[in-house]
Amino acid sequence: MQKILMVCLGNICRSPLAEGILTSKVDSDLVYVDSAGTAAYHVGNLPDKRSIQIAAKHGINIRNQRARKFTEQDFDNFDVIYAMDQSNYKNIKSLARSKEDEIKVKLILNETHPEMNDNVPDPYYGGNEGFQNVYQMLDKACEIIASKL
Ligand code: 4NP
């Protein structure tokens, strides 16, 4: 079983979408996908309504997800940890206890554009277009991730 963790700041906008999209592209007997946030603001909450809506528009249900905070234990429980942006990436890496932990952390958009270190923009304070844009970016990246699993 390959275990993949998607991480953003609040675990209500970007990483729940990434979790839902990748889950929809893989065999659940072979791949386990989860998500978490580096901050605790929204722990226990449903994904943002706008993420729920854009996912539903593409036939993906993310309403069963609840936000949780990233913990050190996640380094033991997952094989790959995808950060949505450079700030999340640095925050996750700062919790790494070993080189082995560190090499698990990747920027998700480097799957689409290797070594560019692009960020999935935080759509929280913007409008619906931001969520559409994030969806498209994550769909491309997850397609590549799924094709390599
Ligand atoms: P996310 O978006 O990291 O994609 O879940 C955010 C959600 C909430 C906040 C910031 C970003 N916030 O400041 O509450």
Q: What is the pLDDT of residue 138?
A: 98
The CA 37 to ligand 1 mean position distance, Å, reads 9
CATH number of the domain at 76, please.
3.40.50.2300
Low-confidence residues of the chain: pLDDT under 50: none
pLDDT digits (tens, 9 = 90+) for 56-73: 999 999 999 999 999 999
- The strand order across the sheet containing 31-37 reads 31-37, 2-8, 80-83, 105-107
Provide the token pair at 124. Answer: 């929280």
- C-beta 8 within 6 A of ligand 1: yes
Domain count, the chain: 1
- What is the pTM for the complete model shown? 0.97
Domain that holds residue 62: 2-148
pLDDT digits (tens, 9 = 90+) for 103-125: 999 999 999 999 999 999 999 99
- C-beta 14 within 6 A of ligand 1: yes
Provide the token pair at 106. Answer: 């990747």
